[in-house]
Amino acid sequence: MSDKPAEATIRAWARLMKAQHQALGSIEGALKVAGLPPLAWYDVLLETERAGKDGLRPFELERAMLLAQYNLSRLVDRMEAAGYLERQPCDDDGRGHLIVITEAGRAMRRRMWPVYARAIEAAVGRRLSARQAATLGELLGHLLDKPP
C-alpha cells in the first residue's frame, strides 16, 4: 500500500481547506462589518455560557475550543478586559481558576448570533440543498475523532 493518497483524496482535502478558509473569511468579514468581535470570541462565549454558573477550567475550554493554550490565555485576557468573562477561584485547586461568562458576555453572544447565523446561511445554506447539507455533515462526521 502506498503512502501517497489517491487523487480524489487530495482533491477532497484541498476543497475542504479552501471551503473552510472561504467560509471563515466571509463569517469574520460579516462580524467585522457589524462592528462585532471575531468569531473566536463567539465560540468562547458560547462554551462558557453552556458551562453555566460553574464555568470552565482553562484546560476544559482549551479542549472544547481546540486552540493552543497560549492563544486561549491571551484571548481570555482580552475578553475579561472587555467585561465579557471573569476568572473565579477554583475551590478544587487553590492555584487554579474558572472562566465564567458575565451578563455582558451573554448579551454580546446574543448580538453576534444573528450576524453569524446569516453568514453561515450565506456560506453554506444558500449553496447546498437541505439534503446536500445533511450529506456533507454526515461525511465530515467521518473525519472527526469519535469521543471515547
Domains and their CATH numbers in the chain: 13-133 (1.10.10.10)
Q: Is the pLDDT of residue 67 over 80?
A: no
What is the per-residue pLDDT for 103?
97
* Portion of the chain with pLDDT greater than 90, in percent: 76
Q: Is the pLDDT of residue 148 over 60?
A: no
3-state class (DSSP) for residue 89: strand
Residue 80, Cα to own-chain centre: how many angstroms?
Answer: 18
pLDDT band at 72 (very low <50, low <70, confident <90, very high): confident
- Torsion sign over Cα 112, 118, 119, 124: positive
Task: Supply 96's cell numbers.
Answer: 487554579
pLDDT digits (tens, 9 = 90+) for 98-113: 999 999 999 999 999 9
Mean pLDDT on 126-140: 96
pTM, 2 dp: 0.86
What is the per-residue pLDDT for 94?
66
What is the per-residue pLDDT for 66?
63
Taking the C-alpha atoms of residue 55 and residue 96, their distance in angstroms, rounded to an integer, is: 12
Mean pLDDT on 138-143: 93
pLDDT digits (tens, 9 = 90+) for 12-66: 999 999 999 999 999 999 999 999 999 999 999 999 999 998 899 988 898 888 6
Average pLDDT, the chain: 91
Taking the C-alpha atoms of residue 144 and residue 119, their distance in angstroms, rounded to an integer, is: 23
